[in-house]
Structures are given as structure tokens and as C-alpha cells.
């Protein structure tokens, strides 16, 4: 059983996932700082100095009462949109790099190794059938 566990942990997928989680946690700290320290103050300029994180509606009386904190939700939504945008840009950049790397391989293949297209084969079959008739 211990050997099975070692084999499981040593698989590339598990290691890749672990690295992804660690990088994701570090990336979250960066994005949180970006939102809290750079974007929120800019948004506050346009909204007259409003701080979304402090916005809410008190549902019960007293200092320890329940608060409907919709401002925190707005900040979480902004956070999500920024993270989604950055991930989109990263995926787009990686795809562009992959495409650029695969083009030289496609260009390097000689034409005679590629073979005829489907249309060319159909034309040959049609001509062969006409010749037999």
C-alpha cells in the first residue's frame, strides 16, 4: 500500500496539480494586493471616495448585530473579474507561443509526405470510374 501511495504521488499529474495550487496561492496574494492597493483607490476616486468593503446594511440593532455586507461581495466580484482577465491573457499568450512553436514543424514537412487531399482522391476515383465505363 505504501508503494502504491508513492507511485500515486510520483505521477506527473499530482505533482503538476501541487505546483499549480502553490502558484495559485501566491498569485492570489498578488491579485488581492492589486485590487486592494491599486484598483480600489482608483474606483473610489470615481465614486466620490466610497470604500466598497465597508458598505453594508445592518439587519439587527446593536454593535454585534448581523450585517448584510454587500460591499465585500462587490470587492470579491471585482477580484474575480481581474483574476479571470489575467488568466485569460495568460492562456492567450501561452496558446500564441504554442502556435508559433508548432508552425516551423509544419513548414519543415515536405509536401510529398503529406499525401493527396480528399478532393484530389475523389477526382482520381471519378476519373478511374469514367475510364472503366
Count of CA atoms in the C-beta half-sphere (13 A) of 14? 7
Highest mean predicted confidence (pLDDT) among 3-7, 36-40, 84-88, 91-95: 91-95
Q: Which three cell numbers stand for residue 46?
A: 470615481
Measured CA to CA, the distance from residue 85 to residue 80 in angstroms comes to: 8
The pLDDT value given to residue 2: 86
**Rounded (10°) CA dihedral 71, 73, 78, 82:** 150
SS3 (DSSP) at 69: coil
Average of pLDDT values for 23-41? 81
Give Cα 68 to chain centroid, integer Å: 31
The pLDDT value given to residue 27: 82
Question: Considering the entire predicted model, what is its pTM?
Answer: 0.49
Q: What is the pLDDT of residues 10-31, one digit of tens each?
A: 776 777 888 889 988 888 888 7
The pLDDT value given to residue 100: 85
**In 3-state terms, the chain is what percent helix, strand and coil (to 5)?**
80, 5, 20
The pLDDT value given to residue 105: 63
Measured CA to CA, the distance from residue 20 to residue 15 in angstroms comes to: 8
Task: Identify each DSSP E strand in 1-133 by its residue range.
Answer: 57-58, 67-68
Phi then psi for 68, rounded to 5 degrees? -90, 95
The pLDDT value given to residue 91: 84
The pLDDT value given to residue 63: 75
Q: What is the pLDDT of residues 48-94, one digit of tens each?
A: 776 677 788 888 887 777 888 888 888 788 778 877 887 788 889 88
Phi then psi for 90, rounded to 5 degrees? -65, -45
Amino acid at each position: 500500500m505504501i508503494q502504491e501511495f508513492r507511485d500515486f504521488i510520483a505521477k506527473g499529474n499530482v505533482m503538476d496539480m501541487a505546483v499549480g495550487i502553490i502558484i495559485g496561492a501566491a498569485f492570489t496574494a498578488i491579485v488581492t494586493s492589486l485590487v486592494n492597493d491599486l484598483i480600489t483607490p482608483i474606483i473610489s476616486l470615481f465614486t466620490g471616495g466610497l470604500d466598497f468593503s465597508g458598505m453594508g446594511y445592518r439587519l439587527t440593532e446593536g454593535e454585534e448585530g448581523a450585517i448584510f455586507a454587500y460591499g465585500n461581495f462587490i470587492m470579491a466580484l471585482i477580484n474575480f473579474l481581474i483574476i479571470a482577465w489575467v488568466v485569460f491573457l495568460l492562456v492567450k499568450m501561452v496558446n500564441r507561443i504554442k502556435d508559433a512553436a508548432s508552425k516551423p514543424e509544419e513548414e519543415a514537412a515536405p509536401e510529398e509526405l503529406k499525401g493527396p487531399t480528399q478532393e484530389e482522391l475523389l477526382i482520381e476515383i471519378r476519373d478511374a470510374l469514367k475510364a472503366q465505363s
